[in-house]
Amino acid sequence: MLLRMRNIHKVFGKVSVLNGVDLQLERGQLLGLVGENGAGKSTLMNILGGLFVPTEGTMTLDENLFAPTSPNEALQAGIAFVHQELNLFPNLSVMENLFISGFPKKRFLGLSLIDQKSAREKAKELLSIVGLNVSEKVKVGQLTAAQQQLLEITKILSRSPRIIIFDEPTTSLTRHEAEKLFQLIERLQSEGIGIIYISHNLEDVMSLADEIMVLRDGNCVRQENQNAFTLPKLIKDMVGRDLETYFPQRDVTPLREKCLEVSQVGAEVVHDVSFSIRKKEVLGLYGLVGAGRSEMARLLYGLDVMQKGTIHWNGQKIQQPSPEKWVQEGVAFLTENRREEGLMIQQSIARNIQLAGLPNYTTPLQTVRFRDLDSDVEQQARANKIKYNNLKDQSVATLSGGNQQKTVLAKWLMIAPKLLILDEPTKGIDIGARHDIYSLVNDLVKKGSSILLISSEIEELIGLCDRILVMGEGRIRDEFHKAAFDRSAILEAALHGKENQTLAT
Amino acid sequence: MKRFYTCQGLILVMVVLALACKRPKGRTTIGISFETLQTEYWVASSDALKAACEENGLDYLEAIANGDANRQFEQVNNFISRGVDGIVIAPKDAHTVIPVIKAANRAEIPIVIYNRLPAPNKGSYTTIVADNYEITKQTVRYLGDLARASGKQYKAMILIGDLGDTNAVLRREGFNDAILEYEDVIDVVAEVPTEWNQEKALAGVTNALQANPDIGLIFSSSDFLFPSVISALKNAGKYHPIGHEGHVLLGGFDGDAMAYQLLRSNYLDADGVQNVYYECDLAIQAILDILNGKEVDSVLVDPGFVIHQENLEEMAPKMWGANLEVP
Amino acid sequence: MKQIQHSGLQWVSNNSTLLLFAVAIALFGILSPAFLSFQNAFNILVQAAALGILATGMTFVLLTAGIDLSVGSIMFLAGVISGKMVVDGAPLWWAGLVVVVIGLEFGCLNALLIYRLKVIPFIVTLATFYVGRGLGLFISDTRAINLPESFLTLGSGKVLGIPLPVILLFFVITLAHLVLTRTTFGKHIYAVGHDPEKARKAGISVNRILLGVYVICGFCAALGGLVAIAQLGAVSPTFGLQSEFMAIAAAILGGVSLFGGRGNVFPGTLIGVLLIQTIQNGLVMVNADPYLYPLITAAVIFLVVGIDSLQNQRREKAKRLGLK
Amino acid sequence: MVKIANSESTFVVLLCLGYYLVMTIIAPGFFTVNNSINLLFNLLPLLIISIGQTYVLLTAGIDLSVTAIVAVASVVGGFMMSSDTVWFHNEFTTLFLGILGMLVVGVLIGAINGWAVAKFAMPAFMVTLTTMMLFSGFAIWLTQSQNLYNLPESFVEMHYTYFLGIPVPLYIALFVVLLAYFLLNRTIFGEWIYAVGANKKTARISGVSVSKTLIGVYVFSGFCAAVGAILYTARLETGSPVMGQNILLDVIGAVVIGGTSLFGGKGTIQGTFFGALFMTLLDNSLNLLNLSFFIIMMVKGMVILGAAILNTVVERSLKTG
């Protein structure tokens, strides 16, 4: 047994994140680790990677007791972590990135210089092992996402690891690139390296893994051979209940009337996208990362410059869309990255909630009617079930991810949006908060609003939407209506596309 | 709580700092305010004023504004707040001193303006000033005579000071008027604005020499600009002693130690000298007179003199720069 | 065709400083033939030496996304102390040593305050800027210090016909270039400048890097000050005022980013310095109104920074969209 | 502490109070009517300019060009009002247009700053650094380094003109402070300033007009600097191209000591008021103790550093505790 984690507990403050998890990994084995966001996957891996010390529990590596206290120690022991965010410096060259933690040196006039020649040779050698075919002099910023990923793996391989943890390695890769990565992973396995593979793409996990471990709410639901799983079963294990009960019911049917019509919209990575949203409709948008979903939404919302195409809002053509105009029209956009684009993290909860709605609370003199505003903000905060101590003095940074997301949502609900664009609204949020958010969305639709829901989780889309569009390579590839929702068909469309099916090899 | 202690600590530091400062005694106190101590001339003046105070049994406070008229105004206001009995000020320029005069008048404290004539105003004050125009004219005349005697044609350059300063203006006028008398041999080709700044002077002279390599006469409106002039001359390969055929005629104004040394080492031809000791004694005396209820003229003039190679031995004892240590 | 035009435009905006440099040389050359003389080229280099050394030090700091506003004060303080010492009869080498020590000490102080007490570089160096200048004025009593001959010979001395300041400038730039491109320390500077958190994860001691760059900057400031006073022959109370801004401007012109991680000393900063000095010199040669110098210099900097910002916006967007 | 100061500015209020008491005891001539008036007149321009700077810092920007704005405004005012240039013959017209001209200059330079920061996304530090160089050079070029004198009597006597027993500059400062307080705390513009400073991207997506807000704060800073220039020019009875060239530290120091963060989104007008008061107290009292300006300079530098260190210590202890 290469690695054994026994009865791992981890408590942060009063919150228990892991309650006695066991994990085993053999040499050359690939363990798929799945679970919802907040299930404890990253905490578990961070314990293995030496970032956290477990509150309780032991680990053994090759039957020796293993208790790393720092990432460095874990690295020394042969545990390598390929994070979703790569630890590369785009302003340095490939070779420099490979050796950033220790260059080969030579002495010259009393100065300790980098031995360029041997560094270059070593770099070439390492690159050829993983089959990364780029010059070692090129700046990393100029590589594609896939090449960067390979480089990160190269860096790790140069330290001869025994276990490699992959955290969502395919999110920024095209399908073709992902397939190549899988081949590399297989090769690593054959060299006896143990792999832990974390992904939301359950199909990938099913096809790659020898064993699969499902985490839910900090507990290990199951660790079994992958043969023992089927996709629906896996989902049920992850979510903890059937999808039907997980997503609250909504008895609203979309009206015929369209509120938003988009035609032939295009820019750098979005090509000729046309679609429309009806009033009281929840339209889902599915696609793999890099499919251009978020980019399309940003284009619509005027965050990037639209190079072609037209947008009609309630029959009116919108010239040069901008967030300012959209907010005035009652269109809201909850973006993917909450911290950077959704919140003012150091500011109070009240300031965050009131931001978008401010123009509705001004007098002709541009002064703010604070009394009305404050009471409405408080009402909204309560309606959104945000858990807070003090609305005006507590910064949102002190809230949990779920409550932060509810705060962003509250901000948008303050303008009573006619159309709400949600980009990955439940990323990194625990199940309870998810449920609250789903309910809020349903309530909004009941009141007459429309929703454009972008998500990487097919279950979420199936559970909430009236219609799902599938995007790939910047185009809309397929459309599914509620009656014809089919998980594998949607995924298939995202992976290969309707038109491309015959071309795909 | 932590913050409280920090406050306490800060206050304690301030107390110690404050106690370390001198407390004034009950004697008559003069506030001395200098725009700058940048040049030796001001340094010598400051020393001479303080010496004069001590001779007369007076206390003094000194403030230096480092070229900032606003700061100088605030410093004088602080003198007034502290209740000084008289103020001697070497002002930034002719106009910014007017509100200072007004403030002193309002507080009914006698004020003496040292070395720079204020612009016309209604305030009551006494000015001690050297006859800049006349001294400059005499100095330049001496250079002109030398030029004419050599029989050659000369191209001339003048380094002018801050034109907001009456002294600079008068010295420039003195130079120009004197040159008019020597139009036949001297042609002014460059006027370098220095704003009383050595770096600007260096750049200006270097560039003027690059543009007109045959400049043969340089007049500096103040001696403290000589290092810049010499540095530029050296770079241009034109720095030679008197008697050498490539010698550039040099004239200056102030009479500082550098000028004295240059005279002694045969590089400087003539220098207009202001009599610092005389001026400072006048200043302090004026204040004492006003305090004692005597009438004092509104302008007291220091006639000054020109020192050159021929009267060097004779006049050196009267030149303040000759009595300083050579840097 | 469109593609070619596009990349041509890109090249222009990528090399705006170099282009402006060429334009400036051509323009001044046409207006004043004397400008293109060999002698004048040396003049520009000599006049650029002090600023060049200063800007080289500043580049190190800027590369870590820091800033050092105290360099002008370090120059001044070092000048005052060494000047006083030499005037009082200390040997030249001893004064030079003291200058260097002052520069190093100030750099240490800045770095310590920044990484120990976690105060941002802007505030720390603003404070040391005032403390340094105040100290210098205190020691000099706000008087100008005229230096003896020996100092001037240092400034106008030549080795093999090349002026000493120019030799010093090229020595400093070569060394800095070597450090940035050929040593682990140099690579770590870029890493820290890009993202200190990532750098820490990569096992780099961020504190040591910060200490290093501020010490280098302090050292360069002192050295630059020495070169400047050796040419001036005097230290006036205004010596070094706004030098920090000129050094920052030169580095930025040379393509160094205020946000760290991007830029180099050679050719970057050197070109920036030469551009500024060429403009100054050229304006003199064409006998422009001296009051226009700062206006033109500022306008050029504004232009380059503006172009760079537009570039940067495009870069950011491309990065976000995963394009090249 | 009552509502006069929130928790962030308690420190600086205490500091001012304690310092004032200590100086009353030890600094000769400190606690006198004359000096109190002095203090007030020294405080007003600094306060006004610092308030403008507070707006800019709240959006995570910086305005280094305030010194140049003071200089250009002073020069332009001098040109328009000096009897040497005689532009207008009626004293009232002269005064009115002169002051208007100064304000317009401030607003214009501010607009240039704001425009470059907002539309080109240029770093505020570089923008205002270059405009500082440009416009201080411009002021010197305009006047060829000469000062402008002979301003109208009613203008230069401003500090000694009383209305209802209160000197005119106090009304001006009061107006600016109240305006600034009102804009920041009562209007949507104020809320937007905090939002832009806290997170530009979030603000933009939430429908905040980021460019208008940014241009607005730089314009306001320019306006405040111009008002400061009016007071400086009147007091010195001179339009000078080097007016205010030494006040940058005092301005930034006052704002930072007042608890405003250089990273934006945090700070108050009250804090800046006490920050400016402290800087003025420091200057005045050390001056009265006959310390020279360069010692005061060092003390100020250290005080700013101390305030910044304290700020980070407090913030860190808030985070961990």
A3-39: pLDDT as tens digits: 999 999 998 877 788 888 999 999 999 999 988 766 7
Residue C4 has pLDDT above 60, yes or no: no
Comparing CB atoms, the residue among C143, C156, C232 nearest residue B198 is: C232
| Interface membership of A92 toward C (CB under 8 Å) | yes
Nearest CA in chain A to C203: A101
Instruction: Please report the residues numbered 157 through 216 in chain C whose beta carbons come closer than 8 angstroms to any beta carbon of chain B.
Output: none
Give yes or no for a contact between C264 and C177, defined as CB atoms under 8 angstroms apart: yes
Q: How far is B202 from chain C (nearest CA, A)?
A: 7
Residue B58 has pLDDT above 50, yes or no: yes
Q: Say what percent of chain B tops pLDDT 70.
A: 91
For B250-305, write each residue's pLDDT tens digit.
Answer: 999 988 888 998 999 999 999 999 888 888 988 999 999 998 888 888 888 888 89
For B178-195, write each residue's pLDDT tens digit.
Answer: 999 998 899 998 888 887
Interface test with A, best of C187, C313, C323 (most A CBs within 10 A): C187
- Touch between A and B (at least 3 CB pairs under 8 Å): no
Q: Which domains does chain C have, with CATH numbers?
A: 18-320 (1.10.3470)
| Interface membership of A475 toward D (CB under 8 Å) | no
State the Cα–Cα distance between residues D33 and A102, nearest whole angstrom: 69
> Which residues of A fall within a CB distance of 8 Å from D204?
303, 323
Comparing CB atoms, the residue among A341, A359, A366 nearest residue D202 is: A341
Residue C3 has pLDDT above 50, yes or no: no
Q: How far is A114 from chain D (nearest CA, A)?
A: 34
Give yes or no for a contact between D303 and D290, defined as CB atoms under 8 angstroms apart: no
Residue C175 has pLDDT above 80, yes or no: yes
Q: Could you tell me which residues come within 8 angstroms of residue A379 by beta carbon, excluding any fewer than 6 positions away?
A: none
Interface test with D, best of B10, B15, B27 (most D CBs within 10 A): B10
pLDDT on residue A93: 92
Q: Please indicate whether, in this complex, the C-beta atoms of B66 and C137 are within 8 angstroms of each other.
A: yes
pLDDT on residue A465: 93
Confidence label for A109 from pLDDT (cuts 50, 70 and 90): confident
Q: How far is C109 from chain B (nearest CA, A)?
A: 21
Comparing CB atoms, the residue among D121, D141, D300 nearest residue C295 is: D141
pLDDT on residue D158: 84
Q: How far is C165 from chain B (nearest CA, A)?
A: 13
Q: Where are the domains of chain D?
A: 6-320
B53: Cα separation from own chain's centroid: 20
Q: Could you tell me which residues come within 8 angstroms of residue B152 by beta carbon, excluding any fewer than 6 positions away?
A: B185, B216
Interface A–D counts its CB contacts (< 8 A) at 77
Q: Say what percent of chain A tops pLDDT 70.
A: 96
CATH of domain D6-320: 1.10.3470
pLDDT on residue C201: 81
Residue B322 has pLDDT above 50, yes or no: yes
Supply the pTM of this predicted model. 0.87
Q: How far is A319 from chain C (nearest CA, A)?
A: 22
> Which residues of D fall within a CB distance of 8 Å from C113?
305, 309
Comparing CB atoms, the residue among D19, D145, D317 nearest residue B163 is: D145
**What single DSSP character describes residue A318?**
P
Burial of D34 (0-12, 13-18, 19+ CB in 10 A): middle
DSSP alpha helix (H) spans, chain B: 2-19, 40-55, 69-82, 97-106, 132-150, 166-180, 198-211, 226-235, 257-264, 276-291, 312-315
Instruction: Please report the residues numbered 163 through 182 in chain A whose beta carbons come closer than 8 angstroms to any beta carbon of chain C.
Output: 172
Instruction: Please report the residues numbered 362 through 391 in chain A whose beta carbons come closer than 8 angstroms to any beta carbon of chain D.
Output: 362, 365-368, 370
Enclosing H/E stretch for D188 = helix D188-198
Q: Could you tell me which residues come within 8 angstroms of residue B122 by beta carbon, excluding any fewer than 6 positions away?
A: none
Distances (CA, A) of D25 to B14, B25, B268, C48: 12, 17, 56, 53
First-residue to last-residue Cα distance in chain A: 38
Enclosing H/E stretch for C172 = helix C164-182
For A381-429, write each residue's pLDDT tens digit.
Answer: 999 888 888 898 888 988 878 889 999 999 999 999 999 999 989 876 7
pLDDT on residue B24: 46
Give yes or no for a contact between C274 and C21, defined as CB atoms under 8 angstroms apart: yes
Distances (CA, A) of A257 to A276, A281, A450, A476: 10, 10, 11, 22
Residue A129 has pLDDT above 60, yes or no: yes
pLDDT on residue A177: 81
Q: Which of C70-79, C139-148, C189-198, D261-270 has the lowest mean pLDDT?
A: C139-148
> Which residues of D fall within a CB distance of 8 Å from B3?
10-11, 14, 310, 314
Q: Please indicate whether, in this complex, the C-beta atoms of A358 and D194 are within 8 angstroms of each other.
A: no
State the Cα–Cα distance between residues B187 and B206, nearest whole angstrom: 19
> Which residues of D fall within a CB distance of 8 Å from B22?
290
State the Cα–Cα distance between residues B262 and B270, nearest whole angstrom: 10
Q: Please indicate whether, in this complex, the C-beta atoms of B199 and C137 are within 8 angstroms of each other.
A: no
Comparing CB atoms, the residue among C128, C297, C305 nearest residue D301 is: C128
The complex scores an ipTM of 0.84
Segments of chain D scoring below 50 in pLDDT:
1-5, 321
pLDDT on residue B56: 87
Residue A187 has pLDDT above 50, yes or no: yes
| Phi-psi domain of A192 (left: phi exceeds 0; alpha: psi -120 through 50; beta: other) | left
Give yes or no for a contact between B126 and B290, defined as CB atoms under 8 angstroms apart: yes
Q: Which residue has the higher pLDDT, D213 or B310?
A: D213
Distances (CA, A) of A1 to A28, A58, A62, A187, A460: 10, 15, 6, 20, 37
For A460-491, write each residue's pLDDT tens digit.
Answer: 898 899 999 999 888 898 899 988 888 888 88
Comparing CB atoms, the residue among D121, D133, D292 nearest residue C297 is: D133
pLDDT on residue B179: 92
**Dihedrals phi, psi of B176, to nearest 5 degrees:** -60, -45
pLDDT on residue A356: 93
Q: Which of A52-61, B103-112, B115-124 has the lowest mean pLDDT?
A: B115-124
| Interface membership of A67 toward D (CB under 8 Å) | no
Give yes or no for a contact between B31 and B84, defined as CB atoms under 8 angstroms apart: yes
State the Cα–Cα distance between residues B247 and A196, nearest whole angstrom: 87
pLDDT averaged over every residue in chain A: 87
Residue B25 has pLDDT above 60, yes or no: no
Give yes or no for a contact between B309 and B146, defined as CB atoms under 8 angstroms apart: no
Q: How far is C300 from chain B (nearest CA, A)?
A: 21
| Interface membership of C137 toward B (CB under 8 Å) | yes
Q: Could you tell me which residues come within 8 angstroms of residue B171 by beta carbon, excluding any fewer than 6 positions away?
A: B132, B133, B136, B160, B161, B221, B253
State the Cα–Cα distance between residues D74 and D139, nearest whole angstrom: 9
**What single DSSP character describes residue B48?**
H
Confidence label for A322 from pLDDT (cuts 50, 70 and 90): very high
Q: Which chains touch A (3 or more CB pairs under 8 A)?
A: C, D
Interface test with C, best of A73, A87, A89, A269 (most C CBs within 10 A): A89
Q: How far is D37 from chain A (nearest CA, A)?
A: 35
What is the amino acid identity at position A209?
Answer: A
Nearest CA in chain C to B212: C285
**Dihedrals phi, psi of B164, to nearest 5 degrees:** -80, -10
pLDDT on residue A9: 92
| Interface membership of C231 toward B (CB under 8 Å) | yes
Q: Could you tell me which residues come within 8 angstroms of residue C209 by beta carbon, excluding any fewer than 6 positions away?
A: C64, C185, C188, C189, C192, C199
pLDDT on residue C53: 96
> Which residues of B fall within a CB distance of 8 Å from C144?
38-40, 198, 224
Q: How far is C303 from chain A (nearest CA, A)?
A: 24
Q: Say what percent of chain C tops pLDDT 70.
A: 95
| Interface membership of A327 toward D (CB under 8 Å) | yes
**What single DSSP character describes residue C268?**
I
| Interface membership of D265 toward A (CB under 8 Å) | yes
Q: Is A355 helix (H, G, I), strand (E, B) or coil?
A: coil
Nearest CA in chain C to B43: C143
Q: How far is B327 from chain C (nearest CA, A)?
A: 6
Comparing CB atoms, the residue among D284, D292, D299 nearest residue B63 is: D292
Comparing CB atoms, the residue among D14, D149, D245 nearest residue B95 is: D149
State the Cα–Cα distance between residues D24 and D287, nearest whole angstrom: 14
Helices (H) and strands (E) in chain C, counts: 14, 4
pLDDT averaged over every residue in chain C: 87
- Per-residue exposure over A278-295, b if at least 16 CB sit within 10 Å of its own CB, e if not: bbbbbbbbbbbbbbbbbb
For C82-133, write each residue's pLDDT tens digit.
Answer: 888 888 888 888 888 898 999 999 999 999 999 888 888 988 999 999 999 9
Q: How far is B292 from chain C (nearest CA, A)?
A: 34
> Which residues of C fall within a CB distance of 8 Å from B203?
284
pLDDT on residue B3: 54
Residue C76 has pLDDT above 50, yes or no: yes
Comparing CB atoms, the residue among A327, A343, A359 nearest residue D188 is: A359
Instruction: Please report the residues numbered 52 through 111 in chain C whose beta carbons come closer than 8 angstroms to any beta carbon of chain B.
Output: 87
Residue B19 has pLDDT above 70, yes or no: no
Q: Which residue has the higher pLDDT, B135 or A159?
A: B135
Q: How far is D264 from chain A (nearest CA, A)?
A: 10
Q: Which of A199-213, A215-229, A488-502, D224-238 has the lowest mean pLDDT?
A: A488-502
| Interface membership of D296 toward B (CB under 8 Å) | no
Nearest CA in chain B to C37: B210
pLDDT on residue A234: 81
| Interface membership of D295 toward C (CB under 8 Å) | yes
